[in-house]
């Protein structure tokens, strides 16, 4: 079982009203296949036979139709206590997910929801950063002054502020800084070691938009993926555009769940 470092994003799932429709959409978009026990309200998604995500049928229609990310922890009860200590909210106390691991759900001080995962038989993703698999996540918030120290204290992240070109900003440098990358403990902070990031919800967005995590999946062709998503019944929320790390687009599936696709700037070795 491949291990994930403490605080690394290790899993993603989506809550959907119609599980079978979700299988058709994501199977068509990413080529995923699915595995589930008979009658179970969820399905593991696989790419090239390796675990990449899960689709779940919503238990309650009031739940959001949304993707969620989980961070690995080697002591979930200590992580839950740290969430409370540093201004977050525990939504679901730690509970065993069979023999796979222990899961909890929490929210940061800005209201963005995330999961915690203490692995047992399942570590998380079996495929990463290659087409059809998870490659990045970032939280969108209106309260960076609360959210930044929260993640740094709860997960031990070290932040690097980036300018519009995606370059690190030195202390005292004059630049428009609205994005921060997070690197785990034990490595040199910076874009090359980052496991996630933080962006800011500006006044350009509706006031009722809540804080949230955006999940990115790697693709070989961003424009083609966006076009295919539309043909499958989804829509494009942010048209394909170039960023320092490649070409990306924000999409919605045919049931409304938002996610992003990224065509990396350089092929992986």
Q: pTM, whole model, 2 decimals?
A: 0.91
Q: Which two tokens stand for residue 143?
A: 């309260």
Query: Beta strands 101-107 and 196-200: pairing type?
Result: unpaired
The DSSP call for residue 193 is T
What gap in Å lies between CA 162 and CA 4, rounded to an integer? Answer: 26
Q: Which two tokens stand for residue 134?
A: 């998870």
Per residue in 43-89, pLDDT (tens digit) is 999 999 999 999 999 988 788 999 999 999 999 999 999 999 999 99
Per residue in 76-112, pLDDT (tens digit) is 999 999 999 999 999 999 999 989 999 999 999 999 9
Q: In this predicted structure, what is the pLDDT of residue 267?
A: 53
Instruction: Label residue 205 by pLDDT band (50, 70, 90).
Output: confident
CB environment 57-69: b (16+ within 10 A), e (fewer):
ebeeeeeebbbbb
Measured between alpha carbons, how far is residue 225 from residues 24, 30, 181, 256, 264 in Å?
Answer: 15, 8, 26, 17, 13
Half-sphere exposure of 171 (CA within 13 A, CB side): 1
Half-sphere exposure of 41 (CA within 13 A, CB side): 9
Which positions ≥6 away from 78 have C-beta within 8 Å? Answer: none
What gap in Å lies between CA 66 and CA 88, rounded to an integer? Answer: 20
Measured between alpha carbons, how far is residue 85 from residues 93, 111, 226 in Å?
Answer: 15, 15, 41
Exposed, middle or buried, 15 (CB in 10 Å: 0-12/13-18/19+)?
buried
Q: In this predicted structure, what is the pLDDT of residue 177?
A: 47
């Amino acid at each position: 079982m491949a291990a994930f470092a403490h605080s690394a994003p290790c899993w993603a799932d989506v809550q959907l009203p119609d599980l079978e429709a979700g299988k058709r959409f994501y199977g068509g978009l990413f080529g995923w296949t699915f595995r589930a026990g008979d009658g179970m309200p969820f399905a593991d998604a696989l790419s090239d036979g390796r675990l990449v995500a899960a689709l779940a049928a919503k238990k309650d229609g009031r739940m959001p139709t949304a993707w969620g990310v989980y961070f690995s922890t080697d002591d979930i009860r200590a992580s839950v206590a740290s969430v409370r200590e540093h201004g977050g909210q525990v939504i679901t106390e730690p509970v065993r997910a069979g023999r796979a691991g222990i899961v909890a759900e929490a929210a940061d001080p800005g209201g963005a929801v995330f999961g915690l995962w203490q692995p047992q038989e399942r570590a998380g993703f079996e495929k990463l950063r290659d087409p059809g698999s998870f490659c990045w996540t970032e939280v969108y918030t209106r309260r960076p002054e609360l959210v930044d120290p929260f993640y740094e204290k709860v997960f031990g992240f070290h932040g690097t502020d980036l300018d519009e070109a995606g370059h690190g900003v030195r202390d005292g440098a004059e630049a428009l800084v609205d994005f921060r990358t997070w690197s785990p403990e034990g490595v040199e902070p910076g874009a090359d070691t980052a496991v996630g990031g933080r962006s800011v919800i500006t006044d350009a967005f509706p006031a009722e938009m809540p804080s949230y995590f955006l999940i990115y999946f790697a693709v070989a062709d961003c424009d083609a993926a966006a076009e295919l998503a539309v043909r499958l019944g989804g829509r494009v929320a942010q048209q394909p555009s170039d960023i320092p790390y490649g070409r990306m687009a924000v999409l919605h599936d045919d049931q409304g769940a938002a996610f992003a696709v990224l065509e990396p700037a350089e092929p992986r070795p």
